[in-house]
Chains A and B, each alone.
Chain A
Amino acid sequence: MRYTVGIDLGSTTTKAVVLDEHGGVMGRGITNSRSNYDTACQIALGEALTNARFSLIASELARAGVRPDAAARQVSALERRFRAEQYRSQLRVLAIELRRFSGRLLTMSREIAASVELILAEMENEVDGLYAEGARRKSDFFRDLAGSRYLQLAEEQARAEGVAFDTLASLFDKAILDVENSSDAAGRFEDHARAAVRGWDGAAAALPAVVERIVSLELEQIGSVGTGYGRQRLPFPEGQIRSEILCHGLGAHALFPGTRTVLDIGGQDTKAIQVDDMGIVTSFQMNDRCAAGCGRYLGYIADEMSLGLHELGPLACASTAPVRINSTCTVFAGAELRERLSLGEKREDILAGLHRAIILRAMSLLARSGGVKSEFTFTGGVAKNPAAVGALRKLVGEHYGEVTLNISDDSIFTGALGAALFALRDAGRGRAGAQ
């Protein structure tokens, strides 16, 4: 099977989208960004191909006569088992690194080493539970998942055994870097897939053969395009890099062909993009020097309020009397928040005000780029925030009238999708890789 891939290197996450020769999405992958860009790209691609193979497994099962709902359940369960294997693989590498670093300690090294072993043993025991059906994980990234478990267990160890928590924590910080920057820590698809099937009595009869077929299926890359923001050179040849503005515009257009205006509020920047009926950008404005009103700002607010990022929106929606907030300066976010709380204002009212302020900034950027035309596609992490979406709908309605607002669950992959489409275009022109 031939595919093209688009990779979007963001500041927090790296995304990959894999397309078949007809432009259909085969798979999507995401991983947390890391210092080694090459590795981040490889892992994101790997995840997308994994995702692709799992969808292929699902369709193969259907062709083998398994009922669609049963097939879906099979694939979910298989995937959980697969992920558990993947986690174990990374845990093994983490263990090696932790042991290596703890062995270098000058003091308390025996005690620390013992604690580390206990922690690792416990983490190993938990794996099945982490990926059990219905289990909810804080994150799907190894760094976050393993990190939070490790630190919790480390705290317990520190209390119980009197070893220094800081030392244990710093061991993790060092070790995780090596895990992250290694492209094989997560292991190989075929190994984990086979291991997942092996000894699983819940497997459908057809499953092992299907898995084997898909594992051996050759996926041939015929084009790739990278995009994303970063000072260092992206690990792509020059002809295979496209600006994130263009990729975003094309990607949004692919998701919603009626798109004419795109708003993307990312972690650190906001983009307002106008596209034509082919998805080609006609004008854009970026706010990339100041993080006010971007995802990171909400992160600060969430931290200040000791809330999860995903809790901000729902809480803001509960407001009945939004407070007027004039500045979304991240530098003063904390101070402004504390002042208002001390004045007795309710959290939900403050949050509602903050969300409106963020969207007002976005409205300026949109106005600078040429306004809001139907259809209007809203992408980026903040698009998942119901209060932000509500404020946007309201303000757009007030100032631009009836406009169709599009939001996709897959919007985080917009840039990568656009990049993959550019790769497909280039491949079609016989220029896969050259300009």
Chain B
Amino acid sequence: MSARVKPAAASEAIKDASQIRQKEMIARHFDRLAAAPRTGERCAYTFVPGNLTELLLSFDLLPVLPEINSLQSAMRGKSAEYISIAEKLGHSEDVCTYVKSDIGMLKSGNIGPTGQRLPNPDILLLSYTGCFTFMKWFELLREEYHCPVVMLHVPYQADGHITESMRSYVVEQLQTQVIPQLERVSGKAYDEDRLRECLTLSARAEDDLVWVLQSAKQIPSPIDAYFGAVYYVGPIFSSFRGTEDAVAYYKELRAEIEQRVRLGKGPVTPDGDMDNERFRIVVEGPPNWTSFRQFWKMFSDLGAVSVASTYTKVGGVYDMGFRHDPSRPLETLADYCLGCYTNLNLPTRIDLLTRYLDEYTADGFLINSIKSCNSFSAGQLHILREVENRSGKPGGFIESDLVDPRYFSAANIRNRLESYFQMLDQRRAGGAA
């Protein structure tokens, strides 16, 4: 029943060039952040959904993404302790664990994933996109850092489309609030040409990213579009979109995946290349970070490959045609924010999942319901039934959390996953006696 996973051969122990590049990009970025108090570089804390990286870069501001810090803390096994600190300070057990992990990390010296101290924010860019909790998060951080906060309210796509009213609301906020504040903090004037340059680079990187994500339509898929893709979307969702680095990264990544397709290879997993794709699955919901590898292994051990996921669209939905458009810089930023996955209404999310099931020739879909994330989770049971009805393909349902290890029960999850995949198996076999 288990997929054959080839252990990494000596030659394969050398990481892919794109992985090396990404690691190096990240290291450089954190070095810069660590040196900021000395060099005088300014930094802006912001969120992944609705991140205005190109705008920040055009002001030479360094972006810091607390969500990514939280997930990194979890992968390094520190989030449990951080959450505990936050709860002792009065934070409820019911609320978002990203926030609690961040508060705990802050109280523990704000040491980032590379072991270096992160600089205090010079500004909190509260990109209020797709998640209510973001508002509270930065209100909490403001109390800690006493720095300026600028609110960018990105309206919800309640009816499934972007209206001119929404777009102009966002653009006007950019013009009257965000840009003036960024000018004040950075000491630089708004440079629209620079912004356009960044946007141009973004679009190029986005083209290659989309190619990579859509490579999963191949049978077998050369990538894992959930666990594996978490690494692929890192640069585009964070401080690198709009840079030459990101363009180079995605170009390299695309070439590597093209190679995998030519060789008929399956995705890379923590245990090496997977070469027996038994189940093609679409995944909805964020992954668990505290047991990320273990969770991934539960899939790969059973021969399950994720061919599409919604989590990899939180920082922008690019595979439905959107690209950053330098010819309308502020409008394109608005459209980008409005189009992030968590800002889409439930019917649209259902449509997207149903489309993915079809376009990626999936056998079924899985929902990872996250206890502390209402934005994703509220309504997932409805999504489960609707997508099943529309696609005719079975949905599985598991429950865990983002970064609180107390809510990841390996036995529970494995039990449900095995049941789900065995069910798929039996259905395929036609249940012959």
Q: Which residues of A pack against B, CB within 8 Å?
A: 229-231, 238-239, 242-246, 276, 278-286, 288-289, 368, 370, 425, 428, 435
Contacts and interface: CB of A to CB of B under 8 A. Distances in A.
B146 interface: no
Interface in B394-433: 394-395, 397, 399, 409-412, 415-416, 418-419, 422-423, 426-427, 430-431, 433
A261 to B, nearest CB: 15
A246 B2 contact: no
Given A280-B426, A370-B385, A285 B397 contact: yes
A283 B394 CA distance: 7
A280 B423 CA distance: 7
A368 B423 CA distance: 17
Nearest to A276: B431
B1 interface: yes
A284 B415 contact: no
19 contacts: A238-B2, A242-B422, A243-B418, A243-B419, A244-B415, A246-B422, A276-B431, A278-B430, A278-B433, A280-B423, A282-B427, A283-B394, A285-B397, A286-B419, A288-B416, A289-B399, A289-B409, A289-B412, A435-B1
B416 A280 contact: no
A435 B423 CA distance: 15
7 smallest beta-carbon distances between A and B, as pairs: A243-B419, A245-B419, A278-B431, A280-B431, A231-B411, A435-B1, A281-B423
Interface string B29-46: 000000000000000000
Contacts of B430: 278
Contacts of B252: none
Given A238-B1, A283-B395, 7 more contacts: A231-B411, A243-B419, A245-B423, A278-B430, A279-B431, A281-B426, A428-B433
Contacts of A428: 433
Nearest to B407: A289
Contacts of B426: 246, 280-281
Contacts of A288: 412, 415-416
A244 B420 CA distance: 11
B433 A244 contact: no
B89 interface: no
B381 interface: yes
Contacts of B433: 278, 425, 428
B291 to A, nearest CB: 14
Contacts of B423: 243, 245-246, 280-284
B416 A286 contact: yes
A245 B422 CA distance: 9
A368 B395 CA distance: 11
B388 interface: yes
Interface string B383-396: 01100100000110
Interface of B: 1-2, 381, 384-385, 388, 394-395, 397, 399, 409-412, 415-416, 418-419, 422-423, 426-427, 430-431, 433
A281 B419 contact: yes
A286 B398 CA distance: 9
A425 B426 CA distance: 12
Given A280-B426, A285-B397, A289-B409, A246 B419 contact: yes
A231 B384 CA distance: 27
Contacts of B415: 229, 243-244, 286, 288
A124 to B, nearest CB: 42
B248 to A, nearest CB: 44
A368 B396 CA distance: 11
A164 B393 CA distance: 64
B285 to A, nearest CB: 16
A238 B412 CA distance: 18
A264 to B, nearest CB: 13
A229 B411 contact: yes
A244 B394 CA distance: 18
A282 B396 CA distance: 10
B222 to A, nearest CB: 26
Contacts of B395: 283
Nearest to B397: A285
Contacts of A435: 1
A284 B418 CA distance: 12
A239 B409 contact: no
A245 B423 CA distance: 9
Contacts of A245: 419, 422-423
A230 B411 contact: yes
Most chain A CB neighbours (cut-off 10 Å) among B409, B418, B423, B427: B423
A99 to B, nearest CB: 39
Contacts of B385: 368, 370
Contacts of B397: 285, 368
Contacts of A281: 419, 423, 426
Contacts of A242: 422
A123 B5 CA distance: 58
Contacts of B419: 243-246, 281, 284, 286
A333 to B, nearest CB: 20
Given A230-B411, A244-B415, A282 B394 contact: yes
B380 to A, nearest CB: 10
A239 B2 CA distance: 9
Most chain B CB neighbours (cut-off 10 Å) among A288, A370, A428, A435: A288
Nearest to A232: B411
Nearest to B427: A280
A238 B301 CA distance: 12
B92 to A, nearest CB: 17
Given A282-B394, A286-B416, A243 B427 contact: no
Contacts of A278: 430-431, 433
Nearest to A246: B422
A282 B388 CA distance: 11
B65 to A, nearest CB: 30
A132 B117 CA distance: 77
Contacts of B399: 289
